[in-house]
Amino acid sequence: MKVQFKALPSNSPSLFPEDIFERIPEHHPVRLVNQVVDSLDLEYIIKLYKGGGTTSYHPRMLIKVLFYAYLSNIYSCRKIESALQQNIYFMWLSGNSTPDYRTINYFRGKRLKGVIQGLFADIVRMLHELEYVSLKVQYIDGTKIESAAGRYTFVWKKSIEKNKAKLEANIVAVLSDIDAQIKQDQSELGREETSRPIDSAELRKKMDQINTDLKEKSRSAQKQLKKLEEDYLPRLEKYEQQLETLGERNSYSKTDPDAVFMRMKDDHMKNGQLKPAYNTQISTENQFITQYSIHQTTADTVTLESHLESFESRYQTQSKEVVADAGYGSEQNYELMEGKGITSYVKYNYFHMEQKRKQQNNPFLVQNLYYNSQEDFFVCPDGQRLTLLKQTKRISSNGYVSQVSIYQAQRCEGCPMRGQCHKAQQNRTIEINHRLARLKAGAKTRLLSEKGLYHRSKRPVEVEAVFGQLKSNNKFNRFTMRGIEKVDVEFALMAIAHNLRKWAKKAKNNAVNNPFNDKKILRTMNISKLTRIRLLTANAA
């Protein structure tokens, strides 16, 4: 039989050319991106433009392009430039505009800095109006994302402090030698001997004073002054600048001073090396990201307060419930959430271990000892009292002060249970934080309740699944920009793209022709009357 092939269309121009944009499906995510950005109020971004000079690309078009690029897992500005010339979805969004990669990168890194958070919050408010999220519950967790900095250009605080102390000792020794030479010359300078570490400003003053007072310098004095000026002083200034950059951190990268070295699970060399990274915290609801924050600390515990405060400032409300893992179960965080009226479903260390029968049936554990709250004493399994010895304070790494009570038994010598009870040579001593014990008891009750079991089963499906989508499905394992402000912009774009991706999927599954067919949604948006009329007119058409 004769083989037949489909006819090839001609490459020559036709009298009535085809509109390639008609090939974009009705429920394609690019249409949602276009409608969402059209509804955003961008006046505060437009006001940042000074005017004059050449014309600028409209920020609304550039925001559409960036949102859709991140939704399509395109993070390189050069690849976005290429897509604007080859991809019909980008062509349609940009109106056939073709900004180059420098323009796109400048807009992303400069124009969106400090304002992208508002765009993220506006989109979350839209999701709230559509009842995709209620903002009444937050499933919180964090992950460490590698910085774009070099992996082996690091500065460690302990090393700097050690080297600085050695340098200061050398400086003190040199100044003492010079003072001795001055005294030999019987010069009355009226200066105190240097017996303590000095900073670079004070060292410079002392050098100027020595040069003024010691007119005829010996060869030895000249050599020592030269060493102070050319070696010790620059090194001291360098150490001071590095310590200022470090602040409360333990390390930073030379090529991204805002990044901190952290140990991460997904190590590129598979040997647990430290890498410069940022600790990214997110809140989710129905797998939508409702809040994010970037931190320069490895511990999740100390990030909760600023994370919740940022949520409250963005939406002028606070969630009624917070769900998190044991990484957030500290006395400070329990007290914080209790003070804010938040019902917390947050685990603490050893929560799961306490549920085991072996732990519950062990009478020697502190949590299983009988406590008489009226007379303030514990009773050991042998019937002996552990009375209050003293009260003291414990200060955490972030400065939180805890009150600790120390109890001690009166006589453990000769007790037949001593080997099972404790291994100390003296009488048994225990430390009790009564406030933390009360908070943990409340947390345990909530976690074991019916609602607590529901939240505990849902938490891995919520926030951990979102991190899996971002890192595995979307291949976002490393930031492409440096500096915490630009990193904030980049992760905000990732979070917005994630929300738009899920929104588009839900809209398609629900067979919604237009996500903005509800006029109430447009009325609640902070958009201009002209924009509202234009959208309603387009919907009616």
Please tell me the distance from the alpha carbon of residue 541 to that of residue 536, in angstroms, as a whole number: 9
Q: What is the DSSP string of 14-46?
A: PSS---GGGGS-TT-HHHHHHHHHHHS--HHHH
> In terms of domains, do 174 and 249 share one?
yes
The pTM of the full predicted model, rounded to 2 decimals, is 0.83
Three-point CA angle 93, 96, 99, nearest 5°: 90
Report the number of distinct structural domains present in the chain: 3
Cβ contacts of residue 61 below 8 Å, gap of 6+? Answer: 93, 94, 95, 97
> In terms of domains, do 102 and 161 share one?
no
| Range 228-237, long-range pairs (CB < 8 A, 24+ positions) | 228/171, 228/174, 228/203, 232/167, 232/170, 232/171, 232/174, 232/203, 233/200, 233/203, 233/204, 233/207, 235/167, 236/164, 236/167, 236/168, 236/171, 236/199, 236/200, 236/203, 237/200
Q: Using an 8 Å Cβ cutoff, are 393 and 404 in contact? A: yes
Give residue 316's region: left, alpha or beta (phi > 0; psi -120 to 50): left
Instruction: Give the model's pLDDT for residue 526.
Output: 46
Give the domain-ending residue among 406, 433, 460. 433
Q: Using an 8 Å Cβ cutoff, are 149 and 253 in contact? A: yes
Q: Is the dihedral of CA 178, 180, 184, 187 positive or negative?
A: positive
**Residue 120 domain-assigned?**
no
> In terms of domains, do 107 and 160 share one?
no
**Residue 174 domain-assigned?**
yes
Instruction: Give the model's pLDDT for residue 496.
Output: 95
> In terms of domains, do 159 and 244 share one?
yes
**Residue 371 domain-assigned?**
yes
Give the domain-ending residue among 203, 237, 253. 253
> In terms of domains, do 174 and 225 share one?
yes
**Residue 465 domain-assigned?**
no
Instruction: Give the model's pLDDT for residue 501.
Output: 93
Low-confidence ranges of the chain (pLDDT < 50): 186-194, 512-513, 518-541
> In terms of domains, do 169 and 92 share one?
no
Please tell me the distance from the alpha carbon of residue 408 to that of residue 389, in angstroms, as a whole number: 6
Residue 393 is inside which H or E element, if any?
Answer: strand 385-395
> In terms of domains, do 218 and 164 share one?
yes
**Residue 39 domain-assigned?**
yes
Pairing of the two strands 370-372 and 251-253: unpaired
Would you give the distance in Å from CA 384 to the centre of its chain?
49
Cβ contacts of residue 71 below 8 Å, gap of 6+? Answer: 29, 33, 497, 500, 501
Closest CA to 205 of 194, 216, 195, 215: 194
> In terms of domains, do 98 and 160 share one?
no
Residue 372 is inside which H or E element, if any?
Answer: strand 370-372
Give the domain-ending residue among 433, 458, 481. 433
End-to-end CA distance of the chain: 51
Instruction: Give the model's pLDDT for residue 287.
Output: 93
Instruction: Give the model's pLDDT for residue 514.
Output: 52
Domain with 33, as residue range(s), is: 20-112+511-540
DSSP state of 13: P
Please tell me the distance from the alpha carbon of residue 248 to that of residue 485, in angstroms, as a whole number: 18
Please tell me the distance from the alpha carbon of residue 192 to that of residue 532, in angstroms, as a whole number: 75
Cα distances (Å, whole numbers) of residue 261 to 85, 238, 255, 272, 273: 39, 20, 12, 12, 9
**Residue 531 domain-assigned?**
yes
Radius of gyration in angstroms for the set of CA atoms belonging to the chain, rounded to a whole number: 32
Closest CA to 286 of 511, 54, 449, 128: 128
**Residue 225 domain-assigned?**
yes
**Residue 502 domain-assigned?**
no
Instruction: Give the model's pLDDT for residue 534.
Output: 44
Three-point CA angle 489, 493, 496, nearest 5°: 135
Helix (H, G, I), strand (E, B) or coil at 344: strand
Closest CA to 48 of 35, 37, 62: 62
Pairing of the two strands 377-379 and 370-372: antiparallel
